[in-house]
Each structure stands twice: as structure tokens, then as C-alpha cells.
Amino acid sequence: MQFEVIARCPTTKARVSRMTLAHGVTMLPTFMPVATQAAIKGLTPEQVESLGVTLILNNTYHLNLRPGLKVLNEVGGAHKFQGWERNLLTDSGGFQLVSLSKFTTITEEGALFASPFTGEPTMLTVRLVVDAPPSTLIAPEPKPEESISIQHAIGADIIMQLDDVVSSLTTGPRVGEAMERSVRWLDRCIAYHEKSGKKERQNLFAIVQGGLDPGLRDRCLDAMIERRDNVAGYAIGGLSGGEEKDTFWRVIKQCADKLPDDSELSVDEYITDCYSNNLQGRDIQWESDSQKIYLSAWPLELIWYGPALLVFIEATDSYLNHIPKADCVFPTRTARFGVALTHGGPLNLKLNKHARDFNPIDVNCPCPTCSGKTSRAILHHTITQETSAAHAITLHNITFQAQVMGRARAAIVAGTFPDYLRTFFAEYFGGAGYPEWCVNALRSVGVDLLEGKDIKMIPGSGAKWEYSDTS
């Protein structure tokens, strides 16, 4: 990996960097769509690439279940399997330990859990015993090493250590235990990765744990920074489990402030951008009426640096946390349920007010949907009926996210990032008011969104959601 900072925002510390991996260059900060099951919902890899996406995520847990390692080994990795020629990142699969299975048991030797689909004990750190009765939990065959081994088979350009994830709302000794264990597991992942001969093409990231406790976070940061010569970058984990937004950004800021900046370090071994592992928390949610698990499709991962950018991205997305139950969707499904993101806020294309609207979602958007003049009316007519409506909105939403990041990069390079933040908030939230936590977080890095403006602040997540025709 090569990593080079090319510009910095003097106010917020946000920066623009060039990251060169085995499958090309990704300019950071970037938007990374999620292809959990080795496909971006409904699109072909050629379409995704043409949108200007240079990095996507596959989920280790899912690919290990299907298609399985044998297939991935036979075909020569996930890039070839899905026809993706640009950069790829995999998570460790650890997050799914908490989110996908209520039977998870974590021991020093690894994690044991049951497949959410079949109930069979499965995966990552468990040796699968095929003939075992489904209800039996098998003694774990440990191993953070196994997570790395699976990620080697997948062959992503960036891979993640196995971490011991606890819900961010957990308190007590379990949080510290998980943090300590994550550090020990990092050592085992490093050792395994070093021996594998895969270091040239695959880059291991550490994941900072420690829950919401600043003391634990600090100890974890110290321990992981000590190992900086052996990791290519850092992710911040263990967040987005339902904690207050103000707590959330403070933890991020604490980590971002402490994680080393490349200026003091050897550039080619190091990347200090943070992979926000926690965002997976929004990627997998529970549908309240049926208690069924939905897996991700819609993509809100990113590589970012510094609280300024984090807030920015979170804000564009925050409406998702407070949507009415009748439209019980989550990020993964927004496109499929007809929500198009625009710089002027999200549009719910299911609403009747769009039924006769022959304008595109955003007349200035360069995506194939908008540049091809696909109207809101035809999207309204086909959404929830035809998969192609979801494809059209997904093409748009991915482009929107990429535009938001691209403009942020441009603003940082131009030295106008604080202005860009203010403009973005003004357009996106308008008179509806700004989320209070965003205002607070950006104040902490020297940007006052309310400067010279009379705008109310919305406590909580600051949802903005077009949920009825009367709104």
C-alpha cells in the first residue's frame, strides 16, 4: 500500500490522500458501497465502476457461508468471482458475532455462533461439524487466525483483524475484557498475516475497541499504536450500537486525534485513515414487526478522517434513524423503497406528489439515472414493483454519496472545507433545522455551522424524512 496526503484543511484537520492498492488508486476520503454478498444490489460491477467507485466492501461472514472458501479458492478470490477489478475491503466477520446470532459465545479461543439461516453452528472461529444436530453447539475451534485465513482466500486489498465486538451499550467488565482481547487477537492476526506471504497484496487493519469509555479507548489506542509497524491502518469499532450521537462523535474524535498522522511515519507502511467499522451498525437492522434480520444492501461505508467529515457523512444519513414504522426501512433498503438522496435532502419517491413529476431526481446529477432523464414519475410508477426502479435509484444514490465525498475532497484541496460544510447543511437541512450533535461535533473542530444564521437545532439524531404527502 502506498499512502500519501495531498492536502489538509487547516481548520478541521480533514485531509485528502491518495491510497494506492493492488487494484488501483482510491482517493480519500471516499465513499465505499457495500457489496455484502459480492454484488451491489441489482447492479453489475461494470456499472458500479462507471459511477466512479474505486473501493467496495464484501462481508467476510457472508462470503464464508456462501459461496464458501472452496469456491473462492477455486476461482482465485472474490475479485474474480464477482468481476470487480478495483479495490476491495473485507471486514473480519466479528461484527456479525453480535448482530446476527443470539447464541454467540465468545471465549479466548474464538467465537461460536449459530447460522442465522440454518441454525447450524458455523463459521469463522468454529469448525463446522457437518453431522452435528443443528441445535448442538460445537466446541469452538478457535481462531482469529481463521478470520484472516478466510480473508486471505477472499483476497481483499484491505482486511480487518478479528475483534471482540460488544454492543456499545454494554457496561461493566465485559467492555474492558473485549478491548484487551481485541488487542491480543490483533497480535495473533499480525503473526498469521506476516507468515502468510500475502502481505504484499493485502493490508491488515487494526480495529480500535473500548466501548464508550474514554479510558479504555485510550488504553486500546496506546496498545494498537505500539503495533503500528505491523498494521497498514486503523479502524474504529464498537460504535453505532444505539449510543447517543454526542457520545458517538466524541469517541471518534478521541480516536482520530490520537491515531498517528502519517507525517511522523513511514508512509508506505502506514495509513491513518479510519475505517469506520461501526457503520455496519446501520447496515444490519431489525425489522420491528417481524423480528427478522435483514442484511445489507445499501451502502454507507466510507473511509474518512477526522470528526468533520464524519459528521458530514452521518448527517446525510441521519434521517434513516427516525423513520416512521410504516416505512420501516433502513439504509440497505432505501433505494428499494424509493428513497433518493439529493443535496436538497432525501426524496421519498413513493409519495403521490411525484406521480406526475417529469423532472429527474436531480437535474444536475451526473448519474445514469438523472443524466438519462429518468423522471420521478416513472420511478414512482415502478418502485416496489420492478427491480429496475431500485437499480435506477441505487445508481443515483451511490453517485450522490460519491459526489458528496468528491466535493468534500475538492473543498479541502481548495481550502474551503468549512464553507462547504456550511453550504451542504444549509441545502440539505434547510429550514428544517440542524441536528444538534452535528453542530456540536463541528464546533469541536472549529467550524460553526450556525455562524450568521438563525437556524434551530434538533436534538437526537436530527432526522429529516419526507414521510407523507402533507409534509
Partner 1 sequence: MSSLPPVPSLSFSLFTPPTTRFGPRLGTIRFKRPEGAEIQIQTPGFLTSASRGVVPHLSRDHYAESSIRWVNLPFESFLDVPPPVPTLVPGKNPLHSFLGYSLGQHVVSMSARDPADGREMPANGNTHVSTYSLRGVRKITPADWRSYVLSCKPDIVFALSDIPFTNPPYSQKRLTKSIERSASWLANILSPPTHTSTYALSEGEYKPNILIHMAGAASVPARRAFASSLVEKLLGPEADAIKPLETLDQGVFGYTFDLVPIRLSLEAAEKQHQDPFYSPVESLPQTPPSAADANSNSNSTSTPSSEVNLDPVIPAHTDQLTPLLHASLEPLPVEKMRLVNTVQTPHEVLRLISTVGIDIFDAHWAQRAADIGVALDFTFPAPSSSSSSSISSTATKTRDNGKHDIGHNLYSDSYTHDFSSFSATPCECRACTPIAPSTRIYHGIDDPSYSNEEPAASSVREKPSFTRAYIHHLLHTHEMSAHSLLVMHNLGVLDTFFASIRRIIQRDMEAQIKGSEVEGGEWEEEVRRFEEYYDESLVVFEEARVMWRDVDLARGRGRLKREKKRQEEGTLGTAVEL
Q: Which listed residue (91, 157, 317, 362) is catalytic?
A: 91
Tell me which of 104, 137, 407, 440 binds partner 1, using CB under 8 A.
407
In angstroms, give the least distance from the CB of 313 to partner 1: 14
Q: Does 128 bind partner 1 (CB under 8 A)?
A: no
Q: CA dist 266 to 204, 227, 301, Å? A: 16, 14, 27
User: Beta strand pairing status for 55-58 and 87-90?
Assistant: parallel
Instruction: Identify which range of 106-114, 138-146, 166-174, 382-390 contacts partner 1 by CB under 8 A.
Output: 382-390
379: Cβ contacts below 8 Å, ≥ 6 apart: 338, 340, 349, 354, 361, 389, 392, 393
| Rounded Cα–Cα distance for residues 404 and 13 (Å) | 18
Q: Tell the burial category of 213 from Cβ atoms under 10 Å away from its Cβ (0-12, 13-18, 19+).
A: middle
Of the pair 194, 427, the CB lying nearest partner 1 is at: 427
Q: How many CB atoms lie within 10 A of CB 208?
A: 30
In angstroms, give the least distance from the CB of 13 to partner 1: 17
Residues 275-304 that bind partner 1 (CB under 8 A): 287, 289-290, 292-294
Instruction: Kindly determine how many residues on this chain lie close enough to bind partner 1 according to the rule CB under 8 A.
Output: 79
Of the pair 263, 290, the CB lying nearest partner 1 is at: 290
Instruction: Identify which range of 179-187, 256-264, 389-397, 429-437 contacts partner 1 by CB under 8 A.
Output: 389-397
The distance between the two most distant Cα atoms of the chain, rounded to a whole number of Å, is 68
Q: Does 268 bind partner 1 (CB under 8 A)?
A: no
In angstroms, give the least distance from the CB of 368 to partner 1: 5
For residue 91, indicate whether it is catalytic.
yes
Tell me which of 11, 50, 170, 196 binds partner 1, using CB under 8 A.
50
| Rounded Cα–Cα distance for residues 98 and 402 (Å) | 30
Q: CA dist 267 to 18, 222, 262, 297, 459, Å? A: 11, 20, 6, 34, 41
Q: CA dist 101 to 115, 141, 224, 450, Å? A: 7, 18, 28, 43
Tell me which of 184, 195, 356, 456 binds partner 1, using CB under 8 A.
356
* Contact criterion met (CB below 8 Å) for 23 and 47: no
Q: Does 266 bind partner 1 (CB under 8 A)?
A: no
Number of Cα atoms under 13 Å in the Cβ half of residue 317: 28
User: Beta strand pairing status for 15-21 and 2-8?
Assistant: antiparallel
Q: Show the binding pattern over residues 70-109: x = contacts partner 1 (CB under 8 A), - = does not.
A: xx--xx----xxxx-x------------------------
Tell me which of 220, 315, 392, 445 binds partner 1, using CB under 8 A.
392
Q: Which listed residue (187, 218, 257, 327) is catalytic?
A: 327
Q: Show the binding pattern over residues 172-211: x = contacts partner 1 (CB under 8 A), - = does not.
A: ----------------------------------------
In angstroms, give the least distance from the CB of 385 to partner 1: 5
Peptide bond into 29 cis (omega under 30): yes
Residues 108-127 that bind partner 1 (CB under 8 A): 117
Q: Does 60 bind partner 1 (CB under 8 A)?
A: no
Q: List active site positions.
A: 91, 327
